[in-house]
C-alpha cells in the first residue's frame, strides 16, 4: 500500500467513454469466469487475429470525474492491457468493497485519493491473470483479495503482489471483497491500540456497518467482553444476533446516558467513526485506562455533496486534547485510518493472516448487505451513506443483465440478502439492494445522459497519480 503503488493501468490505458446506463454490451475480453491462461500476458490474445492485445484489450472502470454527488462516479471503458512492473500482479476483479473513505473521497474530503479523474476503490477480490517479474508467491489462477490506496473499482487491477492475500477455501469473492478494510481496521483498533482483554467493555458506533459488524465479531473472540452498539432500532435484532450485548438506538436515545445506566464507570474502549462532538462525548465516557480510537469523521458527511456547514461544524467541534488532561484522566486517544498506513505491508500481512485464521475457525465472517453492478455504484454509495445497510455494500464486475438495465432496480428484502449470504453463491447472485421507499429519491438522482457527457472529460493518463 505504498504511495507509489497507483495501479499501473492508469498510465497505460486509454479510456473510452461509456454511459453508466444503459451500459454497453460486455466485450469479448471482459470478465472471464476462468482465469486467463498463463501465456495471456506475453502472447496476443487468441480472440483477436493479428492485432496486438495491448491495443484490443479493454475493460470497464469506475472513474471519479470530479467531486460531488453520487453521479460523479462514472463507468468508463479503458483500452490497452496494463504492463506489469516487477513485483506486480494483474487481477481480474470479481467484486469490490465500498468504504466510508470512498464516500468522503467523492466529496473531496479524503486526501489519499489523487485528484479526479481517478479510479477509487481500496479493496477487491478476483483472480490473478498475470504476474510480473520477481513475483514468486502468486501464480496465475490464484484467487486473491487485494488492498490498495485506490484504483480497485475496475475489471482489471494491477497491484503489488504483497498487497494481495490468498482467499481461503470456502470464502466467496463477495466475502473476500468485504473483508480486508473492515476487518483490518477493526482488528488493529481493538487489538493494537485498544489492547482488548477479557471482561472489558467496548462501544461500537454504527454497529450494523461494515466495521461495526467486524468489530463486534472480533470483540466476541475475547472472553466476557461487553459490546455496546449503536444502530437504528430496525437493525437491533440483527446486531444482537451478531454479538452486540446492548444495542442502543442513537436516534431516539442519548447513548451516553444509556451506557452510563449499565456501566456507570464508563468504558474501556470506544471506537469513534463520527468525529466532532461525538469524540468529546466518547472521551468523557472513558474509564481510567480507557482508549478512545477515532477512525473517521462521518459527521462531516451530510447529503451527497460536500456540505460546508457540516464540515465547518465538524471542524469547529473537532476534538483537541492537551496532554495534561490525558495524564489526569489516565486516558488514551488514538487515530486510525488504514488508508494512511502506506508501506506497512509487513504489519498488514501479519494482521490479515490472523484474521484469515479466525475466518477459518469460523469466528469471523463478513456480512454482505447487498451487491450491486458497477452501473449501480451511485445507488450503492447512497445506501451506505444513508445508513440503510446492514453489513458490507459490494460491487460486482459481472455484466448487468439487459432486462435489469431497462427497468427500475428491483425492490429487495433484506432478509433475502441474509439467505443469499448463507448460500455462498455470491458470484452468481446479484442483489440490487433497493429499498422501496427510496425509489422517489432515486429517480431524481438518475444520472442524465446530457449532463454526464459534459462532465466527462477525457481522462489523461497522469504521471502524478503514479
> In the complex, which residues of this chain contact its own copies (CB under 8 A)?
188, 192-193, 195, 275, 279, 288-289, 291, 294-297, 318-337, 340-341, 344, 347
Q: Which is nearer to its own copies, 40 or 298 (CB)?
A: 298
Minimum Å distance from CB 294 to its own copies?
A: 5
Nearest-CA neighbor of 97 among 394, 432, 417, 373?
Answer: 394
Minimum Å distance from CB 145 to its own copies?
A: 21
Per the structure block, which three cell numbers stand in for 23? Answer: 451500459
Task: Give the orientation angle of helix 180-187 with respect to helix 345-360, to 10 degrees.
Answer: 100
CB 23 within 8 A of CB 375: yes
Q: Which is nearer to its own copies, 256 or 321 (CB)?
A: 321
Integer CA distances (angstroms), 112 to 3, 59, 105, in order: 9, 24, 8
Integer CA distances (angstroms), 407 to 77, 238, 369, 402, 404, in order: 23, 31, 22, 9, 5
Residue 176's Cβ-side half-sphere holds a number of Cα atoms within 13 Å equal to 27
Q: Which is nearer to its own copies, 52 or 343 (CB)?
A: 343
Q: Which is nearer to its own copies, 260 or 337 (CB)?
A: 337
Minimum Å distance from CB 315 to its own copies?
A: 9
**CB-based contacts of 252, cutoff 8 Å, min separation 6:** 233
Minimum Å distance from CB 284 to its own copies?
A: 15
CB 128 within 8 A of CB 142: yes
Please provide residue 92's backbone torsions phi and psi, each rounded to the nearest 5 degrees: -80, 110
Q: Which is nearer to its own copies, 70 or 295 (CB)?
A: 295
Task: Write down the residue that cell numbers 467513454 correspond to.
Answer: 17
Q: Which is nearer to its own copies, 108 or 243 (CB)?
A: 108
Q: Which is nearer to its own copies, 104 or 178 (CB)?
A: 104
Minimum Å distance from CB 462 to its own copies?
A: 23
Minimum Å distance from CB 327 to its own copies?
A: 4
Q: Which is nearer to its own copies, 47 or 350 (CB)?
A: 350
Minimum Å distance from CB 4 to its own copies?
A: 16
Pairing of strands 201-204, 267-272: parallel
Minimum Å distance from CB 291 to its own copies?
A: 8
Contacts of range 39-45, beta carbons closer than 8 Å, 24 or more positions apart: 40/129, 40/130, 40/140, 41/81, 41/84, 41/90, 41/129, 41/130
The rounded distance, in Å, linking the Cα atoms of 328 and 465 is 45
Amino acid at each position: 500500500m505504498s504511495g507509489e503503488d497507483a495501479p499501473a493501468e492508469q498510465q497505460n490505458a486509454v479510456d473510452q467513454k461509456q454511459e453508466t446506463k444503459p451500459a454497453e454490451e460486455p466485450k469479448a475480453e471482459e470478465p472471464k469466469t476462468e482465469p486467463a491462461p498463463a501465456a495471456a500476458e506475453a502472447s496476443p490474445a487468441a480472440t483477436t487475429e493479428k492485432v496486438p492485445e495491448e491495443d484490443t484489450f479493454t475493460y470497464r472502470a469506475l472513474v471519479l470525474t470530479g467531486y460531488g454527488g453520487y453521479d460523479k462516479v462514472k463507468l468508463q471503458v479503458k483500452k490497452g492491457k496494463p504492463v506489469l512492473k516487477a513485483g506486480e500482479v494483474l487481477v481480474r476483479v470479481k467484486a469490490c468493497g465500498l468504504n466510508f473513505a470512498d464516500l468522503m473521497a467523492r466529496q473531496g474530503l479524503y486526501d489519499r485519493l489523487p485528484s479526479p479523474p481517478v479510479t477509487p476503490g481500496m479493496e477487491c477480490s478476483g483472480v490473478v491473470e498475470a504476474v510480473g517479474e520477481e513475483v514468486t508467491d502468486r501464480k496465475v489462477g490464484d484467487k486473491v483479495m487485494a488492498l490498495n490506496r485506490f484504483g480497485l473499482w475496475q475489471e482489471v487491477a494491477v497491484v503489488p503482489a504483497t498487497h494481495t492475500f490468498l482467499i481461503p477455501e470456502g470464502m466467496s469473492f463477495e466475502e473476500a471483497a468485504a473483508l480486508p478494510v473492515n476487518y483490518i481496521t477493526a482488528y488493529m483498533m481493538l487489538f493494537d491500540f485498544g489492547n482488548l482483554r477479557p471482561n472489558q467493555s467496548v462501544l461500537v458506533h454504527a454497529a450494523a456497518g461494515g466495521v461495526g459488524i467486524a468489530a463486534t465479531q472480533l470483540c466476541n473472540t475475547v472472553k466476557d467482553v461487553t459490546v455496546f452498539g449503536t444502530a437504528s432500532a430496525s437493525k437491533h435484532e440483527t446486531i444482537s444476533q451478531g454479538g452486540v450485548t446492548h444495542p442502543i438506538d442513537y436516534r431516539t436515545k442519548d447513548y451516553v446516558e444509556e451506557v452510563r445506566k449499565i456501566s456507570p464507570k464508563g468504558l474501556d474502549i470506544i471506537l469513534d467513526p463520527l468525529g466532532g462532538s461525538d469524540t468529546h462525548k466518547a472521551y468523557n465516557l472513558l474509564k481510567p485506562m480507557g482508549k478512545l480510537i477515532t477512525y473517521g469523521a462521518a459527521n462531516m458527511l451530510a447529503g451527497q455533496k460536500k456540505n460546508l456547514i457540516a464540515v465547518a461544524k465538524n471542524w469547529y467541534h473537532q476534538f483537541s486534547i492537551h496532554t495534561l488532561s490525558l495524564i489526569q484522566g489516565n486516558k488514551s486517544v488514538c487515530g486510525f485510518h488504514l488508508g494512511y498506513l502506506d508501506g506497512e505491508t509487513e504489519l498488514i500481512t501479519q494482521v490479515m493472516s490472523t484474521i484469515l485464521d479466525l475466518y477459518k475457525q469460523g469466528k469471523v465472517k463478513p456480512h454482505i448487505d447487498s451487491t450491486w453492478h458497477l452501473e449501480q455504484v451511485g445507488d450503492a454509495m447512497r445506501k451506505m451513506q444513508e445508513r440503510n445497510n446492514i453489513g458490507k455494500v459490494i460491487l460486482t464486475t459481472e455484466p448487468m443483465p439487459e432486462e435489469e438495465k431497462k427497468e427500475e432496480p428491483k425492490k429487495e428484502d433484506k432478509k433475502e440478502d441474509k439467505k443469499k449470504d448463507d448460500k455462498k453463491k455470491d458470484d452468481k447472485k446479484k442483489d440490487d439492494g433497493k429499498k422501496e421507499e427510496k425509489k422517489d429519491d432515486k429517480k431524481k438522482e438518475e444520472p442524465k445522459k446530457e449532463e454526464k457527457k459534459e462532465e466527462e472529460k477525457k481522462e489523461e493518463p497522469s504521471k502524478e497519480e503514479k
